[in-house]
A = this chain, B = another copy of it.
Amino acid sequence: MKIKYGMVGGDLSAFIGEVHRKAIGFVDDTELVSGCFSEDLKKNTHTAGYYHICKERTYQNYQLMATKEGQRDDKIDFVVIATPNFLHYEIAKAFINEGINVVCEKPLCFTVEEAKELKKLSEEKNILFAVTYTYSGYSMVKYAKELIKDNKIGDILNVYAEYPQDWLISAVSKEASPANLSIWRLNPEVSGITNAVGDIGTHIEYTVKYITGLKLKRVQAKLNRFGHQLDLNANMLVEYENGVNGTYWCSQVALGHPNGFKIRVYGTNGSISWFQETPDYIMYSSVDGITSKLIRGADYVYGNSKVLNKTPKGHPEGYHEAFANIYKTYINTLRKIKNNEELLESDYDFPSVSDGLEGVEFIHAVVKSDKNDSIWVNIKETE
């Protein structure tokens, strides 16, 4: 059964829209049929033409798109929202209200209130809603989750997670004048109350939760803005509901790290380490201190990690495949829903609107702690 989708944002010049399309391209029998790719008419038309989208389904704005698609018999099965952060909320709401399933870029929205509303509306309208926390799509992230679930590292003792990048290093030396708001991520109107924490800190928050199953209770944070309005660097202490602690660090000014997301989980019987820049393996240390390399595609790998596997061991998979794995599960579940098939727990192995809400809560707790001399702030009481 062909699954048809539309897209808001993501014209041909935008990086992430193209990643979404290529990732969906890994899922057989899917088609882009509708879109509002840019507010810029020329860019919108050009992108639509490139993808052979008919004029009728090339929309000037997202409201029109939501309404018109909502009225069609052959309406799109889902919409991809790939716009800057500040538009996520209203666009998602518009499509939910038309009963159209949503895949939204992270962070889900600006305020906890908005996030709760999106969650509530989705449930009322039976919307299948995914938030693209890409890194949970990696095969070996899924395998790490299986190993921890199956008690291979015992009780967790500590979590040590970091997400350093270096692409904004040049921003540090610039004065924090309106001019350098040209970097939209440093502009609060577009990005919201955080930059680094919202952009990459939330990946730590979600992916650690995904792998470990630990629920975050409270956080201490110290943000560094280096002359800007928003953070470029953040050191955080965290505590989970079971009393376990950990450390999170995210930075966009850490030279030597193109995209150095790394998670380490230490337990009573073992430990696991995964590094985004070499995503096809995890390091597993056993209780006798032997550290082993476990690789994607090996015979011993099981669970969704195995199911989603595309190439044999040693033939690297990367960012596109991680993204594709999220879409593969999401679209497969959409198909099962359309066919009235029974849904399994594994059919929900993608980041949901609830996960999106928790990401927004995390952001607000972090900022609140930083504003209050880095005291502990509970995740659930931030607004």
Contacts and interface: CB of A to CB of B under 8 A. Distances in A.
A293 B255 CA distance: 13
A28 B374 CA distance: 49
B249 A247 contact: yes
Interface in A201-233: 220, 222, 224, 226, 233
A383 interface: no
A371 B317 CA distance: 39
Interface stretch (A60-68, A111-119, A160-168, A359-367): A160-168
Contacts of A286: 255
B283 A256 contact: yes
Interface in A161-177: 162, 164-167, 169, 172-173
A363 to B, nearest CB: 18
Interface size class of A (residues with CB under 8 A): 35 or more
A189 B291 CA distance: 35
A32 B114 CA distance: 44
A8 B376 CA distance: 45
Given A226-B157, A245-B224, A266-B254, A316 B314 contact: no
Contacts of A257: 285, 314
A22 interface: yes
22 contacts: A28-B50, A157-B224, A157-B254, A158-B235, A158-B249, A158-B253, A169-B287, A220-B374, A222-B245, A237-B237, A255-B269, A255-B289, A258-B297, A277-B280, A280-B318, A288-B299, A289-B295, A292-B293, A311-B318, A311-B320, A317-B319, A374-B376
